Amino acid sequence: MNKKVITFGTFDLFHIGHLNILKRAKEYGDFLTVGISTDALNFDKKQKNPIYCQSSRMEIIKSIRYVDEVFYEESLDLKKQYIIDCKANILVMGDDWKGRFDFCSDICEVIYLSRTPSISTTEVIELIKE
Ligand code: C2G
């Protein structure tokens, strides 16, 4: 198949929704690269720092059996550059991003997969706070 898949995320407080998207993304090819949002990018995206720092989040993602390569995603605006640099053929994202990366469809296939219901990093934090 020789197809390279790429996906991106913060992957803070790693949970089953993250595992599912990585597992399903890998099924579209035979090599999966994951761009992990830096702490600074996460702050820009969500106006708050992640609970786990970027190096911890990278170590966790790197140890997932479906993941072949990881790198730090510094900016949402570099998406196309990352795809080109990684020579990825397919971009896979959860459908909360549906449509947001269609501009990449001139250089790779863009696939949005359904999110895993009723789990999110924010929900986990709220539950722990209770
Ligand atoms: N996800 C999912 N199901 C959930 C939660 C998350 O499928 N219940 C998916 C998201 O759709 C995303 C990936 O898991 O594809 C990572 O989610 P986050 O860590 O929340 O990443 P996000 O903030 O969406 O960052 O350049 C894109 C951004 O870096 C994506």
> pLDDT of 17-39, one tens digit each?
999 999 999 999 999 999 999 99
Three-class DSSP labels, the chain: CCCEEEEEECCCCCCHHHHHHHHHHHCCCCEEEEEEECHHHHHHHHCCCCCCCHHHHHHHHHCCCCCCEEEEECCHHHHHHHHHHCCCCEEEEEHHHCCCCHHHHHCCEEEEECCCCCCCHHHHHHHHHC
Give the pLDDT score at 23: 98
Give the pLDDT score at 107: 98
Give the pLDDT score at 94: 98
Q: Which fold has domain 4-129?
A: Rossmann fold (3.40.50)
Catalytic residues: 46, 48
Ligand 1 atom 12: residue of nearest CA: 94
pLDDT band at 123 (very low <50, low <70, confident <90, very high): very high
Ligand 1 atom having least distance to the Cα of 94: 11
**For range 71-81, the mean pLDDT:** 97
130 alpha carbon to ligand 1 midpoint, in Å? Answer: 24
Whether 18 is in the pocket of ligand 1, judged by its Cβ within 6 Å, is: yes
